Amino acid sequence: MRFPVTPDGRYFVVRGRLWRCANPALPDAERARHVHALMDARRAVAAARRSNDADALRAARDAVDAAKHALGERGPVWWTDGAPDHNRRLARNTPYAAWYAGLAPGSDE
pLDDT digits (tens, 9 = 90+) for 49-104: 999 999 999 999 999 999 999 999 999 999 999 999 999 999 999 999 999 999 98
Residue 41 contacts residue 64 (beta carbons within 8 Å): yes
pLDDT over threshold 70, residue 28: yes
Q: Residue 108's pLDDT is what? A: 84
CA dihedral 106, 20, 61, 51 (to 10 degrees): 20
What DSSP assignment string belongs to 42-54?
HHHHHHHHHHT-H
Give residue limits of the domains in the chain. 1-21+79-109, 27-72
Find the mean pLDDT for residues 23-31: 98
- Assign 1 a pLDDT band (cuts: 50, 70, 90): low
